[in-house]
Structure 1
Amino acid sequence: MNVQRDTARDGADGTVGKALEVLDRVAAFARPVRFSELLETSPFPKATLYRLIQTLTSQGMLRYDSDRGTYAPGMRLVRMAHAAWAQSSLAPIARTHLDALSAQVGETVHLAQLDGGQVLYVDKRNAARPVRMFSDAGKVGPAYCTGVGKAMMAWLPADILEGVLGQQSWHRFTDTTIPDAAAMGTELAAIRAAGFALDREEHEPGIHCIALPILSITGQVLGAISVTSQAERGTLAEMERHLPHMRQAVERIAGDMRDWRFPDQREG
């Protein structure tokens, strides 16, 4: 588990910022967690952490299981998450188009948005023969070694792209992972020229994909879709046959989104 902190803002954020960090840490365990486990990695003193947890529990943001002595996200937080998903995510708008694309290509389809320097998977359709992989709706992954991440980065304005590239870890997941920002610059230029991005087993061995950005009428990057398969099923060149269906899907999603307001990527 790794929760990044912006220590420069701790003072300004005050109690609210501390409470949100506690929620982040509980969620990062992806399972019910004991107080002692939270305390091991907490930047807060024991008394402060206990007070924050008790407040969050009383407000329904955390749920305490007295039999097991564990904390988990509460129903109030779950309701807020569902509301945020419905109001700020592409998923509700894109749902019918993802269904159609999945039926047309017969492979796994992903829908993603950028979350800072990372990729947030907001929806997924499994293939008739599902591919076992990292990405599921709600998970966050690296932008520099995923098809959807590269597809979105390729069409970002230069100032935003610089910030996104600065947040990448450049960890080598496989032999084909792009190793640094300079190599990524060359890759993004090639993606813009081709009109689509490829994941050449860069994040997970044996898994490759083809991806397209979802752009607003003004060219703003709103998200991306990908079609993913196992390398043993066919080559990336063969997967390019899905591009006409993918282009139709992103055009229809973008069309449905014209009246939808999304946060400016410079905000936050």
Structure 2
Amino acid sequence: MMAEAGDGTVGKALDVLDQVAACGRPVRFSDLLAESRYPKATLYRFLQTLTHQGMLSYDAESQHYALGVRLVRLAHAAWAQSSLAPLARPWLDRLSADTGETIHLAQLDQGQVLYVDKRNAARPVEMFAQAGKVGPAYCTGVGKAMLAHLEPQALEQALQRQSFHRFTPHTLASRALLLAELAAIRARGFAYDREEHEPGIICIAAPILTRTGRVIGALSVTSTTARTTLEGLAARAPQITETAASIAAEAESWRFPEQQQAGRG
């Protein structure tokens, strides 16, 4: 995510932090500079500040920057305070035991899917989605389930963040196709992933909604075309929608009451 005009110095520093994180490994200053939109002196100043604050670490011998341990503490606190994962745990465990398939719990983050928890199938399958990863919303079951229930303004903002890259022949690679699919999801009550992000991977997903219809997450049962079919997953629709409703009810009583949202500002 790139800092916007009103974000100031903090937003720009977070841009740099995101850039280091996106590298996926320790990285040299020269490599960051080659991809940075900031001048050399500005980038160096941000890196120094982030290092002094423990958000980055710097190895003087190898001259590499990496994410700092302070981020681990912050991530753990965010997971405990803002994520659905802690309160959803018993429902995920039950759904995993009942289905024997992979279970994903996700929330929206800047128009993209943030996977916050996962249960592996009885016979695990390698796939992209892992807890902590960010994935596209327009071509995943959980992403489409959440997009389908956003208010018009929030949906428009999320759509502007979609790349519509064609991952597979089944990817809905245009805004028009996605909007038609979102309308069908709203009518149906749940979403499918028809091998849209990864070949051979299919899922059924339900949104997690408050009583007033606000999106707070999504839940999916994921399998493979070698193991089952979309029709087979569809038989799980009542179970997954009931599980999503149970998580929503628990979330509202714990951390996400509507009156708290209305009272802010």
Query: Is the TM value for this pair above 0.5?
Result: yes
Q: How does 1:78-157 map to 2 (within 5 A)?
A: 78-157=72-151
What's the CA shift for 1:211?
Answer: 0.4
In 1, the alpha carbon distance for the partners of 2:143 and 2:113 equals 6
In 2, the alpha carbon distance for the partners of 1:199 and 1:88 equals 26
In 1, the alpha carbon distance for the partners of 2:49 and 2:178 equals 45
My pick for the range that moved more, 59-68 or 200-209, is 59-68
Q: Which of 199, 204, 213 does residue 205 from structure 1 map onto?
A: 199
Match for residue 23 of structure 2? Answer: 29
What's the CA shift for 1:67?
Answer: 3.3
In structure 2, do the counterparts of structure 1 residues 82 and 183 end up closer, same or farther at CA, with 3 Å as the change threshold? same
My pick for the range that moved more, 67-76 or 90-99, is 67-76
CA contact (8 A) 1:64 1:70 kept: yes
TM-score (norm 1): 0.91
Match for residue 261 of structure 1? Answer: 256
In 2, the alpha carbon distance for the partners of 1:246 and 1:69 equals 49
Match for residue 59 of structure 2? Answer: 65
Match for residue 5 of structure 1? Answer: 2
In 1, the alpha carbon distance for the partners of 2:70 and 2:41 equals 24
What's the CA shift for 1:61?
Answer: 1.2
In 2, the alpha carbon distance for the partners of 1:128 and 1:249 equals 19
Match for residue 236 of structure 1? Answer: 230
Give the % identical residues: 62
Structure 2 residue identity aligned to 1:261: F
In 1, the alpha carbon distance for the partners of 2:175 and 2:7 equals 32
In 1, the alpha carbon distance for the partners of 2:144 and 2:202 equals 13
What's the CA shift for 1:122?
Answer: 1.0
In 2, the alpha carbon distance for the partners of 1:14 and 1:243 equals 46
Count residues with an aligned counterpart: 259
CA contact (8 A) 1:104 1:245 kept: no
The reply on whether 1:165 has 2:159 as its aligned counterpart is yes
Match for residue 18 of structure 1? Answer: 12
In 1, the alpha carbon distance for the partners of 2:99 and 2:116 equals 20
Gaps of at least 5 residues in structure 1 are: none
Q: Which of 68, 74, 79 does residue 68 from structure 2 map onto?
A: 74
What's the CA shift for 1:209?
Answer: 0.5
Please state whether the residue corresponding to 1:92 is helix, strand or coil.
Answer: helix
Once the two structures are superposed, residues 103-129 of structure 1 have per-residue CA deviations (whole angstroms, 9 ceiling, x without a partner) of 111011101111122111111111111
User: Any runs of at least 4 consecutive aligned residues in structure 1 with deviations exceeding 3 A, and if so which?
Assistant: none
The reply on whether 1:180 has 2:174 as its aligned counterpart is yes
